Chains A and B, each alone.
Chain A
Amino acid sequence: MGRRRGGTIIETLIINALLVLMALAVLVLARTRNLFAVVVLSGVYSFLMATLLVALDAVDVAMTEAAVGAGVSTVLLLGALHLCKSEEARPAHRPWLPLALSGATGLLLIYGALDLPDFADPAAPIHRHVAPRYLQNEVDVPNVVTAVLASFRGYDTLGETTVVFTAGAGIVALLRRRRHKGGGDAQ
């Protein structure tokens, strides 16, 4: 029993430590002006997020975040930097208004969040509604996330796949023109 409680404390501690690290990464990211450093920091942030997701038992999501957030989107941001200037201009004036606005939004949201169920409360509504049915393994697929993704919520996933397709088509429409006029020309 004592060992069980020790495990609980360590689990909570790891999760909270990762949360603090993520907050620090974002704080530095917001203050940095060198865009290359910003891209690297956002990669660090994504890896921290992936680790946190493993600690929160979301292994499928962690795998996706590590591959997408830290891998593909870092490559894409670097590719865009390659095409643009990599130093951000110095702001003309101190950004007091955005700071006050986002501070007020944050306080309001935290005030609202205090009414949400506590962290890891087994009696929270989220654990009582549909999740028990999903965990009964009606379709005989041990990975419940795959079963829900492809079978129970197949319509959702069809929609999401269509959104991904549409975004791809949009990028093709935006970036295609130049290549047909015969590549190679600089500006």
Chain B
Amino acid sequence: MELLAHFSHVVAVFLMVAGLYVVMARGNLIKKLVGLSVFQTSVYLLYIAPGKLIGGTAPILAPQYGLYSNPLPHVLILTAIVVGVATLALGLALAVRIREAYGSIEEDEIIAADNAAEEARP
């Protein structure tokens, strides 16, 4: 019962942890970035869900409604989404440049290429 009242928190934590796992365990840079954006999206859920009031309506004032969900988390997350996509694009740009420099976006191959270059240096 306790878990049911916190179901939104549990799912937000699961999404966060799944994103964290993808970032840590996968070597592909694009997969890592997708994992990072899942991590980021779980934060939206963590913020928005507590602002909900059952039976409430969206915070657009109208005389026939009295109960509104909390608008403050909406404002904070609204800006976070747009910043999130801008930073995702920045990460993708870095991945593209790495691909051009190393011919690969796999972490293992990039490290191997770096080590080989280190050894070849006189």
Contacts and interface: CB of A to CB of B under 8 A. Distances in A.
Nearest to A71: B85
B79 A76 contact: no
Task: Give the one of A4, A92, A148 with max B CB within 10 A.
Answer: A148
Interface string B14-44: 1111111110111110110111011001001
A99 interface: yes
Nearest to A49: B41
What is the size category of the interface that chain A forms with chain B? 35 or more
A1 interface: no
Given A91-B26, A102-B20, A131 B41 contact: no
A35 B28 contact: yes
A76 B88 contact: yes
B52 A57 contact: yes
Contacts of A7: 55
Contacts of A80: 30, 92, 95-96
Nearest to B5: A118
Contacts of A22: 11, 15
Interface residues of B, number: 86
A77 B34 contact: yes
Given A58-B74, A72-B85, A119-B5, A95 B54 contact: no
B74 A60 contact: yes
Interface in A145-183: 145, 148-149, 153, 156-157, 160, 163-164, 167-168, 170-171, 174-175
A23 to B, nearest CB: 5
B86 A120 contact: no
Contacts of B27: 88-89, 91
12 contacts: A19-B7, A19-B11, A49-B45, A57-B57, A57-B69, A61-B74, A102-B17, A102-B18, A109-B13, A119-B8, A145-B74, A160-B82
Given A26-B38, A156-B76, 7 more contacts: A69-B85, A95-B25, A98-B24, A102-B21, A134-B59, A135-B71, A164-B82
Interface of B: 2-3, 5-22, 24-28, 30-31, 33-35, 37-38, 41, 44-45, 48-62, 68-90, 92-97, 99-100, 104-106, 108-109
